[in-house]
Structure 1
Amino acid sequence: MTEKLPIIFQDEHLVAINKPSGLLVHRSPIDRHETRFAVQLLRDQIEQHVYPIHRLDKPTSGVLLFALNPETARVLSEDFAEHRVQKHYLALCRGHMESQTCDHPLTVKLDRIADKHRASDKEPQTALTEFYTQARCELPFAVDKYPVSHYSLVLCKPKTGRKHQIRRHMKHTGHPIVGDAKHGKSKHNHFFAHQFGADHLLLSAVGLDFTHPVSGEKISLNCNAAPKFISAIHQINWQEKGWQENLSAQWFNPTLNQP
């Protein structure tokens, strides 16, 4: 049976899916062993060529937008490049994080394939992310060196689009995302995998706001966080009561838009 991706929006110009965690957007020479790619799966599913407009890291789940023709792809790519698109992410991080704005330039590391002729990393580039803490908790487990462990659920709004921006900014603030094998802490990653069954990066792209390139209509796409993310959230006794009412119910409804 052919794998089906959850489509959350489609018209004659655009299609958007809720990308599962662990799925590459397209083929990559860095991940040669992979055989599943969102571009190919979606193309075969809708029997139409698709043009990816933006990227999500392999371990990040959530809204992934494609154009259905080159002109739409061109216009939307410009909107993304000019930061006219608002992205919303949910992350579960270590520690009690306060709402804040992280204005921290990020160095663009050399890609050993794409940048093979460059001698050094590119200069640090402006990177800005807004963080809005939704809920915090204290768990009675000595995961690290303390007798209890603190975590926060955070809504993230990147204003620029650097590689691994949210993950790197959260590490920079001292609150790495749980499940982040590259920028996080293995003790907390292993704890959430064992205690809550959340064995991947707890970062989901849950919302995308943009102007339709043809109709000019304002479009707001929303989807669930990843199923294991939702499960972990519901197993925790959060300190802030009623926090879920401040967010779209679709982001936490385990029966909707499941990847």
Structure 2
Amino acid sequence: MTLTLLYQDEHLVAIDKPPGLLVHRTQLAAGEDEAALQLLRDQLGRPVWPVHRLDRGTSGVLLFALSTEVASLLGAMFEQGLMQKSYLALARGWPQEDAGLIDHPLARDPEQPSAGQTMLAAQTRWRVLERIEWALATDPRFPNTRVALLEAEPLQGRRHQIRRHLKHIAHPILGDATHGKGPLNRAVAAFLGTQRLWLHARELKLVHPVTGSPLQLEAQPGATWPGIDRDWTG
């Protein structure tokens, strides 16, 4: 696999991560040989350091440092909330409002019961880009399925933050096996002919940690995304 490079200089590099690709190898997916870190290292012929993470199913902008010093600087920027992140998501149903802010604390580890865990502050801004209706019956009460194309901006970087927050407001992301609905996900996958988590890291804005210049890294979702009939940059 050849990764698509979105930006590269002597300090950092950004790629457009395809859905289903791990950021780095892990014991939780011991049977997987391919991961973005190793693929990018081999493609560039030099070491690279990941400075943030995307879930395996999420596609889009993924940033790497080209030295430990820059990795430390970028890591601190992520921790301090100095990055502006924008995602696209296909969510179940139509929100009543056109935009909103989800302010809902999240347990540190989403894979463990929340009781007894430290609760971390988490806010996600969202807005509806398009309301879509498919001729797909996934509920016997309705002949069609309503889907919303959303823009989501997490103000922190909690694990599964967007996925958990959209579930919290009863609009889970389609294809989310952990926080969504299995029957709906399977019906949508058959309808679209594609099985994936419909979450895409579209944009990452930051100040370059070395030069101080503003950077705007973008990865468009492509024609496979339902509802994408123009460049959603506005």
TM-score interval (norm. to shorter): over 0.9
In 1: Cα distance, 2:208 partner to 2:214 partner: 6
The answer to whether 1:16 aligns with 2:14 is: yes
TM-score by length of 2: 0.92
Query: Deviations 1:122-148 (Å, cap 9, x if unpaired)?
Result: 311111000111000222322123222
5+ residue gaps in structure 1?
113-119, 237-242, 250-259
Contact residue 108 and residue 121 of structure 1 kept, 8 A = no
Which residue pairs with 1:106 in the alignment? Answer: 106
In 2: Cα distance, 1:197 partner to 1:121 partner: 41
In 1: Cα distance, 2:3 partner to 2:31 partner: 21
Which residue pairs with 2:224 in the alignment? Answer: 231
Query: 1:75 is paired with a residue of what secondary structure?
Result: helix
Query: Deviations 1:166-217 (Å, cap 9, x if unpaired)?
Result: 0000000000001111111122211221111231000000100000011100
2:190 to 194, 201, 219: 194
Contact residue 136 and residue 191 of structure 2 kept, 8 A = no
* Percent of aligned pairs with the same amino acid: 43
Query: Deviations 1:9-49 (Å, cap 9, x if unpaired)?
Result: 00000100001111111111111111111111100000010
The answer to whether 1:29 aligns with 2:27 is: yes
Which residue pairs with 1:207 in the alignment? Answer: 203
In 1: Cα distance, 2:45 partner to 2:116 partner: 40
Contact residue 143 and residue 149 of structure 1 kept, 8 A = yes
The answer to whether 1:38 aligns with 2:23 is: no
Letter in structure 1 aligned against 2:209: P
Aligned-pair CA distance for 1:109? 2.3
Contact residue 196 and residue 231 of structure 1 kept, 8 A = no
Aligned-pair CA distance for 1:67? 0.5
Question: Could you tell which deviates more after superposition, 6-15 or 93-102?
Answer: 93-102
Aligned-pair CA distance for 1:232? 4.1
Which residue pairs with 1:157 in the alignment? Answer: 153
The answer to whether 1:51 aligns with 2:63 is: no
5+ residue gaps in structure 2?
none
How big is the alpha-carbon RMSD for the aligned residues of Structure 1 and Structure 2? Answer: 1.9
Letter in structure 1 aligned against 2:71: A
Contact residue 110 and residue 160 of structure 2 kept, 8 A = no
